[in-house]
Chain A
Amino acid sequence: MGNLEPVKPFPDSEEMEISFGPQHPATHGVLRVLVRLDGERIIEAKPIIGYLHRGTEKIFERETYNGTIPHTDRMDYTAAATNNQGLVGTVERLLGVTVPPRAAYIRMILAELQRIASHIIWLGTHALDIGAQSPFFYTFQERETILDLYEEYCGARLTLNCMRVGGQPFDLPEGWTGRCRAFVDQLPARIAEWEALLTNNRIWKKRTIGVGVISAADAIEWGLTGPPLRGSGVKWDIRKVFPYDHYDEVEFEIPTGASGDTYDRYLVRMEEMRQSVRIVTQCLERLPDGPVMAKVPKVIKPPKGEIYFSVEGPKGELGYYAVSDGSTNPYRLHVRPACFVNLQALDVMSRGLLVADLIAVIGTLDIVLGEIDR
Chain B
Amino acid sequence: MSDGKEPRIGVYICHCGSNIAGTVDVEEVARWAGEHLPGVVVGRDYKFMCSSLGQELIEKDIHDLDLNRVVVGACSPHLHEATFRGACQRAGLNPFLFDMASLREQVSWVCADRAVATEKAKALIAGSVYRVAQNEPLEPIIVDINPNVLVVGGGVAGIQAALEIADAGYHVYLVDREPSIGGHMAQLDKTFPTLDCSACILTPKMFSAGTHKNITLLTYADVEKVDGFVGNFTAQIRQHARKVDVSLCTGCGVCQEKCPKKVIDDVFEAGLGYRKAVYTPFPQAVPKYPVIDVQNCTYFQKGSCKVCEKFCPTGAIKFDQQDELLTVNVGNVILATGYDLFDSRRIPQYGYGRLANVFTSMEFERLANASGPTNGKVVLRDGVTVPQSVAIVHCVGSRDRNYNSYCSAICCMQSLKFAHLVHERTGARVYNCYIDIRTPAKSYDEFYQRVLEEGTVFVRGKVAEVTDAARVPGEEGKLIVQVEDTLVGHQRRIPVDMVILSAGMEPRAGAKEVGKIFGISCSMDGWFIERHPKLDPVATMTEGIFIAGVCQGPKDIPASVSQGAAAAARVLGLICRGRISLEPVRAQVNQDQCSGCRICNNLCPFNAITFIEERGVTEINPALCQGCGTCVAACPAGAITGTHFSNTQVLAQIDGLLSVMA
The reply to whether chain A is a binding partner of chain B is no
Which B residues lie at the A interface, using CB under 8 A? none
Which A residues lie at the B interface, using CB under 8 A? none
